[in-house]
C-alpha cells in the first residue's frame, strides 16, 4: 500500500475529526463523552483499495473517504450529543460509537 496515501488518509481523518470536535464543543455543551476507533475504519478502507491504481486515483479515493468519515463522525456526535474521543485516549467508562460511525459511513456509499 502506498505510504503517502495512508499518511494522507490518516492526517485528513485526524484533522477532520479534531475540527469536528472543536466545532461541536463551541456550538453546544455536550452531555457526555464517547469513543471512536478511526484506525479500524481507515484499515477497512485501505483493504478496499486496489494498489494497482495510479497515485491520483488513490489520493482522490482517500480524500473522499476522509470527507465521508468526517460527515459520519459529525452526525453521530450531534445525534448522541457527545464529544467523540479517539479510543486509545479513554481506557474505560464511556460508550464506543465506532460501529455507529461505520454504519453511517457505509450507508453513504450505497
DSSP string, the chain: --HHHHHHHHHHHHHHHHHHHHHHHHHS--SEEEEE-HHHHHHHHHHHS-TTS-HHHHHHHHHHHHHHHHHHHHHHHHHHTEEEEEGGG--SSS-B-HHHHHHHHHHTT-
pLDDT tops 80 at residue 110: no
Residue 100: per-residue pLDDT: 95
What is the extent of the structural domain holding 22?
3-107
Q: Would you state the pLDDT for residue 34? A: 92
**Count of domains observed in the chain:** 1
Decide if pLDDT at 10 tops 60: yes
> Residue 77 belongs to a domain with what CATH number?
3.30.910
Per-residue pLDDT band for 75 (boundaries 50, 70, 90) equals very high
Return the higher-pLDDT residue of 98 and 3. 98
pLDDT single digits (tens) 13-69: 766 666 666 666 666 664 688 999 999 999 999 998 888 999 999 999 999 999 999
**pLDDT confidence of residue 101:** 95
pLDDT tens-digit map of 77-96 = 999 988 888 887 777 788 99
pTM of the model: 0.69
Amino acid at each position: 500500500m502506498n505510504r503517502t496515501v495512508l499518511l494522507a488518509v490518516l492526517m485528513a481523518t485526524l484533522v477532520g475529526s479534531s475540527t469536528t470536535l472543536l466545532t461541536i464543543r463551541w456550538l453546544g455543551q455536550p452531555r457526555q463523552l464517547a469513543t471512536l476507533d478511526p484506525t479500524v475504519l481507515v484499515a477497512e478502507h485501505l483493504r478496499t483499495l486496489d494498489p494497482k491504481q495510479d497515485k491520483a486515483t488513490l489520493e482522490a479515493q482517500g480524500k473522499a473517504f476522509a470527507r465521508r468519515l468526517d460527515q459520519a463522525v459529525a452526525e453521530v456526535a450531534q445525534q448522541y450529543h457527545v464529544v467523540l474521543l479517539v479510543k486509545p485516549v479513554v481506557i474505560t467508562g464511556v460508550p464506543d460509537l465506532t460501529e455507529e460511525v461505520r454504519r453511517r459511513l457505509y450507508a453513504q456509499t450505497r
